[in-house]
Amino acid sequence: MKSLRLLFAFLALALFPASAQAADRLVLAFGDSLTAGYRLPPGQGFAPQLEAALRKSGVSAWVHNAGVSGDTTAQGKARLAWVLASLKAKPDLVIVELGANDMLRGLDPARAEANLDAILGELRRRDIPILLAGMVAAPNLGKDYARRFDPIYARLAAKHKAGLYPFFLQGVVGNRSLHIGDAIHPNERGVSVIVRGILPHVRRLLTSR
């Protein structure tokens, strides 16, 4: 009987680490339509494609889609606390992808920076790792707007000690075959390009803690 108890104890110890290691990491994808998967079939948006890529690369994680089409940085700031409260666990990483709608509407970059600063500050206060996904101004907005808008992401990432993916649409902009037709939102293939680019940054932040 004693030997059986020892055997069961050994099996429990041998199996428990595997199940513990298999516990999913929670990634919160917090953004606008680029995160939400605007006009894409189920399973083809940013969150599900990133989750699949993480699992394929050996990182057991699930990615919660908290993208809302049309959101500005102000609207993201307003709903952040509610989104965090709605989750069943504290995120292991939050990907913040906001600012595109501020830029497309020509809103003051200083306000966008202030809103993002508040979002990152709240996440940092909660000790939640951050990956900030950057955006760049469209050429038609002019050089002055770009000069004020483009640097805010690197500046905020440095201030809040956050990870930085400089341009969320890297490799997609300008390639019509990667857009749904509006020259803004990526199609399924475009999302896969985004995921391929951002994946190493996400993996590094998830596995460094």
Catalytic residue among 64, 160, 179, 185: 185
Radius of gyration of the chain (CA): 20
> For residue 165, what are the CA distances in angstroms to 42, 66, 87, 90, 137?
25, 18, 24, 22, 16
Q: Which of 127, 144, 182, 208 is catalytic?
A: 182
Active site residue 64: no
Judge whether 33 counts as a catalytic residue: yes
Distance (Å, whole) CA 92 – CA 130: 9
Nearest alpha-carbon partner for 189 in 40, 57, 19, 63: 40
Length in residues, the chain: 209
Instruction: Pick the catalytic residue from 32, 33, 102, 160.
Output: 33
69: annotated active-site residue:
no
Q: Would you please indicate which residues are annotated as catalytic (active-site) residues?
A: 33, 182, 185
